[in-house]
């Protein structure tokens, strides 16, 4: 499973990128707003940091506007994936933009039927929102499983990009189900390395080592 970082924080992206685990980045207007920077400027900097897809979101509501904005965003760098919403107009824009050879991330997916339409429209990525379904007392992972089955049934090449991830359990479950990509905040990705038993074991080892009075260096 590929890891995308869901942030516009340059320092956080650089930190994870140096570890070699970043396969791409997702951004949206809310994340750009938190950065307090110009959308094109920060997106270009992110694109320079990572080799993989960097999702940049359109804000128009009509297909013509999304296509125009998408083409403008695509000028920022070759690894831009244009992000459009899963609306009928968004599907139209997706069809046009992918027809031009551009990567398109169709976002705000909340049903398997929506995901099927996105695949038919040629989406590069489909972004089901797990956490927001959980907020409604629905299991967001059920949606990932349904999309996985449908895409496998018919050989769709659209990649499932599990989004709205809020916990390390979300990451694990997405990987078990077979999501192609998971995008998560830096804090969630870093938390995957943590376990209370690791901490306890390390503490015990260090105490025993201290008793030996030895040094490695």
| Burial class of residue 13 in the structure, from the number of CB atoms within 10 Å of its CB (0-12 exposed, 13-18 middle, 19+ buried) | buried
Query: Catalytic residue numbers?
Result: 83
Concatenating the DSSP letter of every residue in the chain gives -EEEEE---HHHHHHHHHTT---EEE--HHHHHHHTS-HHHHHHHHHHH-SS-EEEE---SSHHHHHHHHHHHHTS-TTEEEEEESSHHHHHHHHHHHHTT-EEEEEEE-SHHHHHHHHHTT-SEEEEBHHHHHTTT--HHHHHHHHHHHHHHHT--PEEEEBS--SHHHHHHHHHHT-SEEEE-HHHHHHTT--HHHHHHHHHHHHHHHHHT----
């Amino acid at each position: 499973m590929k890891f995308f970082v869901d942030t516009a924080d340059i320092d956080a992206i650089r930190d994870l990128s140096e570890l070699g685990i970043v396969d791409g980045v997702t951004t949206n207007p809310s994340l750009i707003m938190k950065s307090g920077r110009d959308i094109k400027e920060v997106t270009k900097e992110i694109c320079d940091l990572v080799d993989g897809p960097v999702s940049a979101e359109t804000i128009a509501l009509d297909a013509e506007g999304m296509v125009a904005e998408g083409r403008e965003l695509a000028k920022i760098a070759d690894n831009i994936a244009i992000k459009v919403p899963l609306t009928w107009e968004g599907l139209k824009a997706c069809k046009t933009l992918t027809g031009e050879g551009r990567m398109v991330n169709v976002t705000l997916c909340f049903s398997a039927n929506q995901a099927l339409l996105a695949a038919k429209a040629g989406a590069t990525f489909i972004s089901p929102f797990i956490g927001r379904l959980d907020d409604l007392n629905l299991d967001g992972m059920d949606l990932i499983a349904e999309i996985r089955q449908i895409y496998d049934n018919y050989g769709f090449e659209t990649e499932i990009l599990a989004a709205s991830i809020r916990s390390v359990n979300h990451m694990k479950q997405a990987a078990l189900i077979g999501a192609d990509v998971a995008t998560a905040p830096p804090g969630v990705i870093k938390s995957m390395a943590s376990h209370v038993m690791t901490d306890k074991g390390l503490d015990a080892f260090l105490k025993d080592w201290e008793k030996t009075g030895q040094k490695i260096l």
